[in-house]
Amino acid sequence: MPRHRAQQLKEGTRHRQGPERPLGIDERDQEALFAAFMDNSPGASFVKNEAGRIIYVNHTFETLFALPSKEVLGTVHPGWITEADWGPIRENDRKALAAGHPLTFEESTTMPNGETKVWLSLKFPFRLPSGERYLGTTVLDITALKRQEAALRESNQELERLRRLQRREFEVMVQNIKDYAIYMVDPQGLVMSWNAGAQAITGYTEAEVLGKSFMRFHVPEDVAEGMPQRLIERALEEGSVEEDGWRIRKNGERFWAHTALTAVHDQKRHLGFVKVVRDLTEVRQLEAIERELAALGKLDHMKDDFLSVISHELRTPLNFIMGFASILDDEAAGPLTSQQHEYLGKILYGAERLLFHVNNLVEMSRLSAGLLQIQPAPTEYGALIAHVLETFRPLADDKRIRLESDVQVRGEILIDGQRLTQVIGNLVDNAVKFTPDDGRVTIKAYPEDGRLITEVADTGIGIAPDDIPKVFERFVQLDMTTTRTVGGTGLGLAICKSIVEAHGGSIDVHSDGPGKGSTFRFSLPLEREGEEA
């Protein structure tokens, strides 16, 4: 069916069934958004399979560890990580997989240059519809943060001693701490001392702040509401007060800070206050990233719900169209002219093509919900392939494409015939769509080492080497210009992969490059009723 006809059918269905649920962005944009998000994420992300092999790394991982993905992918224990570091990491992986839900760990590694790094590691196990389990991990470098925490603990331990020190002793002790702003103000709130960390965090030099009010570090709205003065009053009453909030640097930039304000006394009088400021901007950004990840998960769930609803809603009107068109074509309602038969044939063919895509949507909904079930039964494989070829012959004839087969499997084998018809149908459909006029599509099936090998080869547009790893992803169309010409949902190959793997098989693709055709090959256990061949 022409594209504008399919669009009209979709529009007509929507008017009868009610408006579609708005999603905000479409599914393809969501995939692009997620891919861009992962590669621009400040965290290094990677995925391991259940055997512990690394099968995916994002761009940040390559940048952070200065390692190209080809040196990491497929490894279980990256060689540059020492066994002493690797043991705890491996144990944390095991804990996350056993828990079945995200867990956060602190892990450390000695880098190739000898530097020790501390990582905040978020490990989240997940399972594909096929049942395979994977472990995703996102790590952030918190080495500096851990140093800051250690410095803060050290500072807090010294606060009791600071109460007994005079101003000069206090300045000498804290002057060289650079990760925390530690300074003293007099009872009126004027800055009396200023350490290197205070200058690093705020941008002010000691000469610019000594004798000035500490309120300049608070944002204007807090100053207007009297918040800094209330903190001083609370510190006098309670001895010490902690607070999180926005502070402002010399250049006007705001940063999120955790502050501790402690009143300092000697035996006779109130000397002023010690203030310790910790910059938590990076921590706050990490929390924002975690919220965004949760939102992306919700969007993915909404997408699956939408696919399930719209695909089921489309099948009902399609069945009406095909049913009544068949009745007319059989002349049950009266004789037809040859031209009318021709038009009805086009209607039925177009409806069958649309039903093919709708069934893919239904299948993907089932896969997302983990409902894929394989029901093997004795099946004549040669007859199954012949049926698929006959189904797609009109599409091939329109483009003068030769459909050829070479089936060397005799007798019945144990497979889920309905599911394998889907697999071969999707592969042939793609081959015909992406093969130019006067081309050729060939199906071969033969036994090899106790397995059933099936190949679907074409003389079509081919696949670029960089695109081959993407072909079995959901909603992926590699050549978007061609896709707009030939149509498609980008689900067929993802469904093929799930069905083949559910049979205990594997699927891959080979192409010598653009313009040189493609060969999709899948392998299944070759079993016959009562025995394995």
C-alpha–C-alpha distance, residues 397 and 473, integer Å: 29
Alpha carbon 140 to its chain's center: 17
- Report the pLDDT averaged over residues 412-431: 91
Q: Which two tokens stand for residue 209?
A: 């702040």
What type of residue sits at position 501? E
- pLDDT-derived band at 441, boundaries 50, 70, 90: very high
Is the model more confident about 326 or about 385?
Answer: 385
Q: Mean pLDDT for the chain?
A: 80
Distance CA 515, CA 512 (A): 8
Q: What is the mean pLDDT of residues 108-134?
A: 87
Q: Is the pLDDT of residue 273 over 70?
A: yes
Q: Where are the alpha helices (DSSP H) in 330-454?
A: 338-368, 381-398, 417-433
Q: Token pair for residue 169?
A: 């002793």
Residue 277 CB burial class (10 angstroms; 0-12, 13-18, ≥19) = buried
Q: What is the pLDDT of residues 70-107, one digit of tens each?
A: 888 888 887 778 888 889 999 999 999 999 899 999 99
Give the end-to-end CA distance of the chain in Å, rounded to a whole number: 43
What mean pLDDT do residues 135-142 have?
90
pLDDT at residue 148, rounded to an integer: 85
What are the tens digits of pLDDT across the range 423-435?
A: 999 899 999 999 9
pLDDT computed for residue 18 by the predictor: 43
Which comes out higher in pLDDT, residue 55 or 312?
Answer: 55
Helices (H), 216-280: 220-224, 227-238
pTM: 0.40
pLDDT at 10 over 50: no
Predicted local confidence at residue 303, as pLDDT: 63
Q: Which residue in this structure is represented by tokens 């944002």?
A: 219
Number of CB atoms found within 10 A of residue 72's CB: 18
Dist CA 35 CA 52 (whole Å): 23
Per-residue pLDDT tens over the stretch 168-220: 555 555 566 677 888 888 988 899 888 888 888 898 998 998 999 888 889 99
Q: CA 225, CA 257: separation in Å to the nearest integer?
A: 18
Written in H, E and C, the secondary structure of 261-330 is EEEEECCCCEEEEEEEEEECHHHHHHHHHHHHHHHHHHHHHHHHHHHHHHHHHHHHHHHHHHHHHHHHHC
Count how many Cα atoms sit within 13 Å of the Cα of residue 61 in the half-sphere of its side chain. 21
Distance from C-alpha of 61 to C-alpha of 66, rounded to nearest angstrom: 8
Of residues 24 and 403, more confidently modeled: 403
Mean pLDDT of 266-273: 84
With a cut of 60, say whether residue 503 has pLDDT above it. Answer: yes
Q: What beta strand segments (E) does 356-411 contain?
A: 377-380, 402-407
Determine how β-strand 103-110 pairs with β-strand 116-127: antiparallel
- In what side-by-side order are the strands of the sheet with 44-49? 54-57, 44-49, 133-141, 116-127, 103-110
453 contacts 424 by C-beta, under 8 angstroms? no
